[in-house]
Amino acid sequence: MRTVLLLALLLASTPFFSQTEDEKQIKAIYDKALTDGKAYDWLDHLSNQIGGRLSGSVQAQQAVEYTKEQLDLLGLDRVWLQPVMVPKWMRGTPEFAYFETKPGLTTNVPICALGGSVATPDGGLKAGVVEVNGIEDLEKLGREKIEGKIVFYNRPMDPTLINTFASYSGCVDQRYSGAAEAAKFGALGVIVRSMNLRLDDYPHTGSMGYGDMPVNKRIPAAAISTKGAELLSATLKLNPNIKFYFRQNCKQYEDVQSYNVIGEIKGSTYPNEIMVVGGHLDSWDLGDGSHDDGAGCVQSMDVLRLLKETGYRPQRTLRVVLFMNEENGLRGGNKYAEVAQDKGENHVFALESDAGGFTPRGFTIDASEENLEQIQGWKGLFEPYLIHMFDKGGGGADIGPLKDGNMVLVGLRPDTQRYFDHHHAENDTFEHVNKRELELGAATMASLVYLIDKYGTIPSKKVKG
């Protein structure tokens, strides 16, 4: 009877013991992050000593060197640079724009060139304006109304969507493809309302592309601040014949050498199962890229340090990867996946933080149902930290190329309400990152990595079975 009771107690207590151990380890991670985090200091350096880190820039190279140096100091098993060729686009001198209601009567508006755009002619470009609510309007208007004009894309982000990334997705085609599409109808240039939910004076840049359009057909594209867009639109309603002038001398150069920065802790038991945690080291050039994505880089770096400092030795190989060139090319993400495949590496898990350094709310998970359920089963462990989102969804741009139908891809999901106030704009700066919010994100990531490492991922039956 005693033995049976003991056995029953043992059996009953096993999950509790494990639960307690996980609770303890996760508490140790959060405590460490909040009392002795390194993420904020690293971000201070990246943002305030280096600044905006556009691919191919001196600052991007400085960021590579700085983060490698800092990872070296952590005493990981291995730190290295992974070469990758990246595009180099430069903004040149500050852009300038106005609209002219009658000859000599002009109103300046804040603009910035979109990343990848061609320049205007040297003296600038001046033309009539046709406002549209999106690419679909071009067809309706036809070449007749567009030819020789500047197309003004003014569809705002939908403020009623609670997830502001969904609002962004609903608009960003104007920015990415607006120029290429308008050029087909004979437009001379495009001006795109900034992807910003707030009315303010900051133009927000971001990538755009011309597809396979010949260089001599490409037309310049710039973003206008949301207040500028509102003013331009209101003025056009009063006077559809106003002219818009803008000048930018941005330029695309030859690709240059750059690097992904990688640090690794070798797995103690399953060294061939690789887990990745990362963000992208490049940023746009207008601000200092604190939220996008300095935050994700320093959080990812701190994940390894937090596990190490709390005495946790991963069973699986854990890598921090600071990807280069997410913003205008994704070359770093593609290169990392390519090398992994060439080497036949077995990546089981990747976690990306690329949605700002705000209070973490949870994760989006791109995985099989079994893996999704396993992660959702850990919900209770995260509850004390107010982490409540465990939704099906994308992991992140940089880790996307790793996707193989078997591994688990996860994105950290911070609060999104303020993100697009800063995204790709001059005010994406260090003072808008809160230390605790950043640290909570790092701890949340480290906790998930710990659980994944401890319990493993569930291999897909189709692949394995």
Contacts to its own copies by CB under 8 A: 30-31, 34-35, 159-160, 162, 164, 197-198, 359, 361, 384-386, 388-389, 415, 417-418, 421, 434-437, 440
Contact 297, 445 (CB under 8 A): no
Measured from the CB atom, the residue of 130 and 440 that comes closer to its own copies is 440
Measured from the CB atom, the residue of 225 and 249 that comes closer to its own copies is 225
- The nearest distance, CB 384 to its own copies, in angstroms, is 7
Measured from the CB atom, the residue of 97 and 438 that comes closer to its own copies is 438
Measured from the CB atom, the residue of 328 and 353 that comes closer to its own copies is 353
Measured from the CB atom, the residue of 61 and 417 that comes closer to its own copies is 417
Measured from the CB atom, the residue of 94 and 384 that comes closer to its own copies is 384
Measured from the CB atom, the residue of 164 and 371 that comes closer to its own copies is 164
- The nearest distance, CB 436 to its own copies, in angstroms, is 5
Contact 228, 152 (CB under 8 A): no
Contact 282, 254 (CB under 8 A): no
- The nearest distance, CB 366 to its own copies, in angstroms, is 20
- The nearest distance, CB 417 to its own copies, in angstroms, is 5
- The nearest distance, CB 381 to its own copies, in angstroms, is 13
- The nearest distance, CB 47 to its own copies, in angstroms, is 17
C-alpha–C-alpha distance, residues 393 and 379, integer Å: 16
- The nearest distance, CB 8 to its own copies, in angstroms, is 32
Measured from the CB atom, the residue of 3 and 160 that comes closer to its own copies is 160
- The nearest distance, CB 214 to its own copies, in angstroms, is 42
Measured from the CB atom, the residue of 3 and 35 that comes closer to its own copies is 35
**Of 153, 146, 60, which is closest to residue 111 (Cα–Cα)?**
153
- The nearest distance, CB 196 to its own copies, in angstroms, is 12
- The nearest distance, CB 440 to its own copies, in angstroms, is 7
**Of 36, 21, 14, 4, which is closest to residue 443 (Cα–Cα)?**
36
Measured from the CB atom, the residue of 126 and 361 that comes closer to its own copies is 361
Residue 461 is encoded by which pair of tokens?
A: 């039956």
